[in-house]
Amino acid sequence: MNMKVDSMIFLPECLENIFKFLQDDEEALFSSILVNRFWCRTLVPILWRNPFRLVKEANTDKLINIYVRCLSNDNEPDYLSDLVILKDGQNVLQKLLKNSSRLTFDYPYFLRELKCSKINDLVKRWLSSVIDDSNWNKPDQKEFCVKWFSNNLIRLFMNKSPNVESLVIQSDDYHHNADFSFNSCTDKGYSALRILHLDYCCDGHTLQSISFNCHSIEELWISLTENSRETQSLNELVKSQKGIKDFRIRSIYYNEKVFEVTPQLLEALSIQKRTLHTVQFFCCKFHQCPTLQPLAECTKLERLGFFNCDGLTEEVIKPLANGSLRNLNVLAMAVYDGFTEKVIIDIIESSHQNLKRISLPMATKTNNIRNVFTSMIPFVNNLTGITVCFSSGDNKSFESFLLLLDSCSNLESLCIEGGDTAGNPLDFDDKEMSIYFEQLAIKMPLSINRLVFYNVSVSSQLFQTFLEKLDSPIRFLGLYGCFMIRDDHINEIVKYAERTGHLKNLTVNWCFSNTGKAVDEALKVIDEVHFSDVEPYDMEFTAWLA
């Protein structure tokens, strides 16, 4: 039977259901487009829902080129003239926008997932392919053009992609003068939005616009500063949603102020208690909140995190320890001021051994975290991940932690952080602590395969001894903010990888003393090696609610 006639017996809805099974098979989908126009019209919207994930890396330049053709080729403002002229005298914008023309499909309309940082990365790669690096006329000219194109592409998507389901905007890292409007689409614009990450300092007007247009947000991650308008707008945004599942708020320092959580925000979250399973507060103040009782009413909570928050005294946190959070399997309490061990112990005991991962606050001589370690021992059978933070010199707390490890037979991930309130690292080279560090290698459960150190100091000789005594099959090793890490340390890691064959991923972030030679040597024996001298966007302990 003729393929054209055969294919017409399928309704578009039937074809869509069939093609869903092939949504990750790029070759099959692109081949199907060529069957006939009917199949093509059905497949193009599916292919262009999230082309950034589907298209192979070698074809991403073509993808960006198609989207750039959707941009307007109007003359750029006069103030851009000096910024966009290449050495050969050509205008970058006129050169790259001259092919703007009517396309067969309105491709931005089909987009369902948008992540700003991804656009920025692809535009940077695309510009490198169309303009020779030697042709840039001024320092930072290329970076300016990357921001110009990515910024305008995102505005294009915000205006012409009303059916976006997942939106991640990171404007202060990747864009300039970014004002992405949520009220520029039709009345139904963004009605399908389920995931919204606003990782920039958005204002109350933006939040208000989202409240009017979006009512189906399930995952809301947002960054704010201290501002009363934003507080009220955020409350209304939370209350306007049909069923938030994952809520995370991060405070951005602004004029030495951080976001102040209000009782009204906690009440708004309690309205979502039927669906809410994850709540995280990062660098927030709770001085206005006499109690966290509204959160205790969210009995379906599975993941709860407080990171570097002020005002969480024992009386404020106490309602969370009343036994209502029986579904909790991830608890992160990286709270320094006002920490009370009794509340943590009560939460752990009332979790009925459902806890899988726990992140504990900085160990100091005043917060009695040793009592937490001791009290945890009967409740760690199902624990798979622990993050602990110690201040330098608090050796007794570390000794108590080693006793806890003896009971953690199913532990898979361990992150050890250092640092007091002044940020001083945990010094493992201290005479007494060096003994405990060697004991850590011996006592570490054989089930552990992921090990991370953050803000610690250790000599290459002691690190060598640690790795030689380590029996746990570490597949992922992370070193974050360990400023004393040098090539000698990397060489010892390479020897460990060669000797055991276990290590598959090495990540070294925010360390400044490693050379390219050490990286090359590591790549010879380790599958994935990541080195960066930039502070990681998401520190290890903040990722525990992922």
**Helix (H/G/I), strand (E/B), else coil: 358:** strand
The sign of the torsion formed by the CA atoms of 42, 43, 46, 50 equals: negative
Question: In this structure, are residues 387 and 332 in contact, taking their beta carbons and an 8 Å threshold?
Answer: yes
User: How confident is the model over 196-208, as a mean pLDDT?
Assistant: 77
- Who has greater pLDDT, 435 or 364? 435
The rounded percent of the chain whose pLDDT value lies above 90 is 36
Quickly count: other Cβ atoms within 10 Å of residue 207's Cβ.
23
Q: pTM of the prediction?
A: 0.84
Q: Is 446 helix (H, G, I), strand (E, B) or coil?
A: coil
Partners of 505 in beta bridges = 476, 528
The per-residue pLDDT for range 416-428, each reduced to its tens digit, is 988 776 778 999 9
Give first-to-last CA distance, the chain, whole Å. Answer: 51
Strands 278-282 and 166-169: unpaired
CB 93 within 8 A of CB 80: yes
Q: Count H helices and E strands in the chain, helices first.
A: 22, 17
**Which carries the bigger pLDDT value, residue 215 or residue 42?**
215
Q: Kindly tell me if the per-residue pLDDT of 7 is higher than 50.
A: no
**Phi, psi values for residue 331, rounded to 5°:** -125, 125
CB 395 within 8 A of CB 429: no
User: Which ranges of 98-225 does DSSP label H, i.e. alpha helix?
Assistant: 116-130, 141-160, 171-174, 204-213
> How far is 546 from 532, CA to CA, in rounded Å?
22
Mind listing the domains of the chain with CATH numbers?
A: 25-146 (no CATH), 166-327 (3.80.10)
> Residue 282 has what pLDDT?
87
Rounded Cα distance between 87 and 255, Å, is: 41
Lowest mean pLDDT among 250-264, 279-293, 445-459: 250-264
What integer is the mean pLDDT of 384-402?
89
CA 195 to chain centre: 13
- Secondary structure class of 95 (helix, strand, coil): helix
Phi, psi of 209 (to 5 degrees): -65, -40
Among the residues of 280-430, which ranges form H helices? 293-296, 314-317, 341-350, 369-376, 395-405
Q: How far apart are CA 271 and CA 322, in angstroms?
A: 20
Cα pseudo-dihedral 515, 517, 521, 522, rounded to 10 = 20
Average pLDDT, the chain: 83
Task: Give the whole-angstrom CA distance, residue 364 versus residue 394.
Answer: 6
Strand partners, 454: 417, 480
Q: Which pLDDT belongs to residue 452?
A: 94
**Tens digit of pLDDT for each residue in 75-122?**
555 556 667 888 888 888 888 887 666 788 888 999 999 888 888 889
What would the mean pLDDT of 314-331 be, rounded to a whole number?
Answer: 88
Q: What's the pLDDT tens digit per position in 480-503? A: 988 888 999 999 999 999 999 999
What is the rounded distance in angstroms from the CA atom of residue 165 to the CA atom of residue 172? 22
CA distance 325 to 300: 7
Residue 487 Cα to chain centre, angstroms: 29
Three-class DSSP labels, 9-63: CCCHHHHHHHHHCCCCCHHHHHHHHCCCHHHHHHHHHHHCCCHHHHCCHHHHHHH
Report the pLDDT averaged over residues 41-49: 79
Per the model's pLDDT, the better-predicted residue between 489 and 345 turns out to be 489
Contact 193, 135 (CB under 8 A): no
Give the tokens for residue 354: 């459902």
d(CA 319, CA 270): 14
Structure confidence at residue 199 (pLDDT): 76
Around 158, how many Cα atoms within 13 Å sit in the side-chain half-sphere? 21
